[in-house]
């Protein structure tokens, strides 16, 4: 089945419909009286602590999986 092509009139109607239904930001939404604080980019000491703990856990689990794979390979190879 072939897809029917849009005529010029249909294209004009669809573009008008898109322009009418497009989301527009109202000026009143942009005006605020409150000051918002910017989030800080500084990493806290406790944040680095958790990061190190996560890296340690990842490293330990990786070594554990490698040891398990090696043990399984040795067992299945018949040594």
39-75, pLDDT tens digit by residue? 666 656 666 676 778 888 999 999 999 999 999 999 9
pLDDT at 66: 97
Q: What is the mean pLDDT of residues 14-29?
A: 80
| Close Cβ partners of 6 (under 8 Å, ≥ 6 residues apart) | 14
How confident is the model at residue 40, as a pLDDT? 63
Contact 14, 6 (CB under 8 A): yes
Tokens representing residue 79 in the block:
């040594």
More confident residue, 78 or 35: 78
Q: What is the pTM of this model?
A: 0.37
């Amino acid at each position: 089945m072939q897809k029917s092509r849009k005529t010029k009139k249909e294209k004009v109607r669809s573009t008008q419909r898109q322009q009418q239904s497009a989301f527009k930001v109202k000026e009143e939404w942009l005006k605020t009286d409150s000051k918002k604080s910017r989030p800080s980019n500084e990493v806290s000491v406790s944040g680095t602590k958790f990061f190190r703990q996560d890296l340690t856990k990842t490293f330990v689990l990786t070594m554990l999986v490698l040891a398990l794979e090696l043990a399984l390979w040795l067992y299945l190879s018949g040594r």
